[in-house]
Amino acid sequence: MKLISWNVNGLRACVGKGFFDFLAAENPDIMCLQETKLQPEQAPPIEGYHEYWYSAEKKGYSGTAVFSQPEPISVTYGLGIDAHDHEGRAITAEYPDFYLVTAYTPNAQNELKRLDYRMEWEDAFRGYVCALDQKKPVVICGDLNVAHQEIDLKNPKTNHQNAGFTDEERGKMTELLEAGFADTFRRRNPDLTGAYSWWSYRFHAREKNTGWRIDYFLVSERLMPRVRDAKILSDIYGSDHCPILLELE
């Protein structure tokens, strides 16, 4: 089974930059999007897939989507906690042998003005996926808005305590992994440097590969033996993020 996750930073803009060509070429079983920035009625039709949209109440902001060739057993939206369920940040699709959760983690923002809320989200999200994991294995994917280790961004020293690389955010990722989840890409590529999934639009960052790895496929530890491949598709353009891929046996 092939799964792809992509923060498209506005799906309508990404469609104009080759999104459908990419989808047709890869033909994933499941495609997860973050930062769709649209309402469902504004969405283009996705042929060959069951579509599930979760939009922020604030128009043009945030939002997630799941496109699935196999029809899920069930689909739920949000974390079931009102404080976290107004920005379209998480969709859960249940399949026979796993849950899939796609997430767009809140950004701590400039001057870390949303860091306290981010910490609340992290604890709620970890509790949510751990509860699912008690029932069946979980695949978590999406823009988790944190570079976990120094290897995961080009300039760790100058970015220390900036949004996405604070000790607090990195600590919450450690807590999530220690709760029973594996970072599939890093497990398969423990020492690979220069592997990033997001680049600023400024300063020619992408052509210089001055990037961050903030998009992830995490799996319950007991799913790790089924991971056949975990890739960053860094040659695919259309957003300031590139897609990431997971193949399960």
**Selected catalytic residue, list 104, 128, 196, 216:** 104
**Distance from the first to the final alpha carbon of the chain:** 6
What is the rounded distance in angstroms from the CA atom of residue 1 to the CA atom of residue 230? 12
Asked whether the beta carbons of 90 and 64 are under 8 A apart, the reply is yes
Cβ-based neighbour number of residue 217 at 10 Å: 24
Residue 65: exposure state from Cβ atoms within 10 A (0-12, 13-18, ≥19): buried
User: What Å distances lie between residue 201 and 24, 238, 241, CA to CA?
Assistant: 26, 12, 10
**Selected catalytic residue, list 49, 95, 128, 143:** 143
User: What Å distances lie between residue 88 and 53, 170, 185, CA to CA?
Assistant: 8, 23, 26
Q: Is 128 a catalytic residue?
A: no
Q: Which residues of 74-94 are buried (b: 16+ CB within 10 A; e: fewer)?
A: ebbbbbeeeebbebbbbbbbb
Q: Is 104 a catalytic residue?
A: yes
Give the residue among 154, 161, 37, 160 at the shortest CA–CA distance from 104: 37
User: What Å distances lie between residue 49 and 66, 130, 190, 201, 219, CA to CA?
Assistant: 9, 28, 34, 31, 23
Q: Which residues of 11-27 are buried (b: 16+ CB within 10 A; e: fewer)?
A: beebbeeebeebbeeee
Task: Please give the positions annotated as active site.
Answer: 104, 143
